[in-house]
Chains A and B, each alone.
Chain A
Amino acid sequence: MSFFKKLKEKITKQTDTVTEKFKDGLAKTRDSFSGKVNDLVARYRKVDEDFFEELEEILIQADVGFDTVMNLIEELKMEVKRQNIQDPNEVQSVISEKLVEIYEAGGEISSELNIQTDALTVILFVGVNGVGKTTTIGKLAHKFKSEGKNVVLAAGDTFRAGAIEQLEVWGERVGVEVIKQGAGSDPAAVMFDAVQAAKSRKADILICDTAGRLQNKVNLMKELEKVKRVIEREVPGAPHEVLLVLDATTGQNAMIQAKTFKEATNVSGIVLTKLDGTAKGGIVLAIRNELNIPVKFVGLGEKMDDLQEFNAEQYVYGLFADLMENEEE
């Protein structure tokens, strides 16, 4: 298949280390996905209802997203009928084809950050509780800092016990200033302070932390809207990025999170964290397709430099690598 070849060539051109990191991170994902497809194809002699049911389960297991899977299976069934395919081996190539279509359906969405060259760039972080917002901010601050940028952090999580201290520790580690108020203060007021501070210090980048909130809490979502409004008012054109942090272990709910947070804050990108576990976060493919929100970074560990820029090609390659290699043989 030409697409896979192209993809592979593209990837091998990129630095090997990055690709390795991705491959390692997704190794478990791959084991459970393409290994299973191969196994499935080997076990069945005929393409029937049971075959599709098992395939459905394999896809579901990757948390690809319920609707995506159902649509994919529907399309596969049609395709199989149309081409009159009986042999499961032949289905495999159709599966690959369809998966690539999902990937391409997202179109070319840039996963680069919208960074202002000679003005303050404001990045707002949002998400539910415990996904890793503060940790990601620490890592991102480290990244900018090592690029020689002047970074300021805003401790906007005034609610959770110890959240401000957590960001302060990151600030010390990375060597950047943290603007804060006391626990329980108005997060919008913290943002106002932080913006003024960032302006007066001529900072390049202001990264704003917010408290984790479940997307069905109306009042908390309104609070978030207010935080964003304050930033908008104080810096024209800001926030330049609103990053939604998603936990890779989250299931179908991730889609609702993306939808709701997008409505409230016009999310511009996703950070997928905890991808170094056994979960795959396949739901981001569905989110990309349905909501047009690209993944911009992935978290692959707890160290300062464990934040990688997301590369859709590498991600898809990581997910389906075995499958592609089979294709080429």
Chain B
Amino acid sequence: MAFEGLADRLQNTIQKIRGKGKINEADVKEMMREVRLALLEADVNFKVVKEFVKKVSERAVGQEVMKSLTPGQQVIKVVKEELTELMGGEQSKIAVSNRPPTVIMMVGLQGAGKTTTTGKLANLLRKKYNRNPMLVAADIYRPAAIQQLETLGKQLNMPVFSLGDQVSPVEIAKQAIAKAKEDHNDYVLIDTAGRLHVDEALMDELKQIKELSNPDEIFLVVDAMTGQDAVNVSKSFNELLGLTGVVLTKLDGDTRGGAALSIRSVTDTPIKFVGLGEKLDALESFHPERMASRILGMGDVLTLIEKAQANVDEEKAKEMQQKMRTASLTFDDFLEQLTQVRSMGPLDELLKMMPGANKIKGLNNLQVDEKQISHIEAIIKSMTKDEKIHPETINASRRKRIAKGSGTTVPEVNRLLKQFEDMKKMMKQMTASSPKGKKKGGFKLPFNPF
């Protein structure tokens, strides 16, 4: 299977070493080969990989790993630390000009998501920083690019500056900034046309826009799925324009996004934001550590926990835990959990954030059907109060009634009842085993997904 995580890869190597008691340089070399493959597989540029592996090897051969009782774990730790370091350590902020308006220029290849990101960024500036941005339609080449930005402006209820597609982008930028001053817009976001980094004429146009509008930020918008070419692209844009930041888009896909690492190390500019969906609020600050986990295929527990914290009531969670321990869970509790988990976002995305999730065979192809969950909800809601507490009382005729009431079928009701029963059994077993005994490959979560 393609896209196995680093943790998996190292597991195999460690299996081989396990009997030895301690590891030597040759073992480290083999581990480094796995690290290298994991990174290449995630689309990290090979040059970046090479340097990275060299750096990690030095640390790995050193004391901290060799003497450790769990060298495999130590290697992963070192790799993750170095990766996080390489990706910029901590998050960076967006510039504010002391002579407004602050000008932000959006540049990139065709189809990277510049226009959408421009809309999202404007939304973020208003919501989070209480700013009053203006959007500038400077893509005069792609058919209907101006309409696209205008539509976004309408959705956001924000001014969009446009002079049609017959005026040069340089002129548009100039007039837009003057207009923003007049109208007291404190941010100007210039959406430029997508262009290939080898297109000299168009690249020159960007330079002119830059010289004239003197932007405070120049953001390169990059598709997270970009392969080895990410290096060439970001290098060209950076050399010509001097980028101040990068926005990584389409990160809600299933790509590992190794391009992030390549870009960061080639341009030495921070990744400031990531695009995580098609809606206008799907732009988030970049977290280097989480990205490191993702590239290595280690899951993104932090985001998961954060989402859980934001959406799950702690008191209720405790209560739930108690119920699980005593295995006195009712269908009411089950339904409540289901709603809470669902409020955190699409289930398949949540699942992918779990560490070790990629180890579960077929999970990558697993499609969580949100409709099925709606069915489960409907079934539970069609039960009487008493049935929810004592599901064992649900006999054949009650099942028929529930199926009818929820618009489902008897087999579906049966399946749910069986699953619920199994879950309760499992809980009993789990609480029966030692409370500290973590199961292999297991993980503790603030809730039980099912």
Contact = CB atoms under 8 A, between A and B. Distances in A.
A165 B146 CA distance: 10
B384 interface: no
B148 A161 contact: yes
A23 B141 CA distance: 26
Contact of A162 (B109, B111, B113, B145): B145
A143 to B, nearest CB: 17
A56 B216 CA distance: 41
Interface string B101-114: 00000000111110
A251 B143 contact: no
Given A215-B253, A216-B253, A162 B144 contact: yes
Contacts of A57: 46, 50
A214 B250 contact: yes
A130 B259 contact: no
Contact of A130 (B113, B144, B149): B113
B278 interface: yes
B259 A251 contact: yes
Interface string A21-41: 000000010000000000000
A88 interface: no
B283 to A, nearest CB: 15
Contact of A279 (B141, B227, B369): B227
* A67, A162, A214, A283 — most chain B CB neighbours (10 Å): A162
Contacts of B42: 252
B111 A132 contact: yes
Size class of the B contact interface (CB-based, 8 Å) = 35 or more
B144 A165 contact: yes
A62 B228 contact: yes
Nearest to A290: B2
B43 interface: yes
A218 B368 contact: yes
A66 B2 contact: yes
A130 B249 CA distance: 11
B109 A252 contact: no
Interface string B247-268: 0001011111011000000000
Contacts of B37: 70
Interface string A139-168: 000000000000000000001111101101
B56 to A, nearest CB: 16
Interface string B154-186: 010000000000000000000000000000000
Interface string A219-263: 100000000000000000000000000010111111110000000
B144 A168 contact: yes
Interface in B251-308: 252-256, 258-259, 278
Given A169-B143, A247-B111, A277-B198, A129 B250 contact: yes
A138 B42 CA distance: 33
B228 A60 contact: yes
A63 interface: yes
B143 A130 contact: no
A251 B228 contact: yes
Contacts of B225: 128, 247, 250-251, 253-254
Interface in B38-95: 40-43, 45-46, 50
Contacts of A66: 2, 40-41
A249 B196 CA distance: 11
B366 to A, nearest CB: 10
Given A161-B155, A166-B144, A249 B233 contact: yes
A320 interface: no
A61 B228 contact: yes
Contacts of A180: none
A296 interface: no
B109 A274 contact: yes
Nearest to A166: B144
Contacts of B255: 251-253, 256
Nearest to B148: A162
B97 interface: no
A279 B152 CA distance: 31
B207 interface: no
A41 B268 CA distance: 32
Contacts of B230: 249, 251
Contact of B369 (A128, A161, A218, A252): A218
Contacts of B223: 130, 247, 249-250
Given A130-B112, A277-B229, A216 B148 contact: no
A289 interface: no
Contact of B253 (A128, A138, A169, A247): A128
B155 A60 contact: no
B198 A249 contact: no
Interface string A193-207: 000000000000000
B12 interface: no
B27 interface: no
A257 B250 CA distance: 13
Contacts of B253: 128, 214-216, 253
B8 interface: no
Nearest to B155: A161
A60 B46 contact: yes
Given A61-B228, A165-B144, A166-B144, A252 B43 contact: yes
A276 B194 CA distance: 14
Q: Which of B115, B147, B228, B250 has the most CB of A within 10 A?
A: B228
Contact of A251 (B43, B141, B145): B43
B197 interface: yes
A170 interface: yes
A249 B254 contact: no
Given A60-B46, A170-B143, A279-B229, A216 B348 contact: yes
Given A130-B110, A249-B227, A60 B40 contact: yes
A272 interface: no
B339 interface: no
A278 interface: yes
Contacts of A169: 143-144
A254 B149 CA distance: 28
Interface in B366-399: 367-370
B232 to A, nearest CB: 5
Contact of B46 (A61, A160, A183): A61
A286 to B, nearest CB: 10
A287 interface: no
Q: What 4 A-B pairs come out closest when comparing CB atoms?
A: A251-B227, A162-B148, A130-B111, A169-B143
17 contacts: A130-B111, A161-B119, A161-B151, A162-B145, A165-B143, A216-B252, A249-B109, A249-B226, A249-B229, A249-B230, A251-B225, A251-B255, A252-B227, A253-B225, A277-B198, A302-B110, A302-B141
Interface of A: 28, 57, 60-63, 66-67, 70, 128-132, 135, 138, 159-163, 165-166, 168-170, 173, 183, 214-219, 247, 249-256, 274, 276-280, 283, 302
Given A60-B40, A216-B254, A277-B196, 9 more contacts: A132-B110, A162-B115, A162-B151, A169-B143, A217-B252, A218-B348, A251-B259, A278-B198, A278-B229
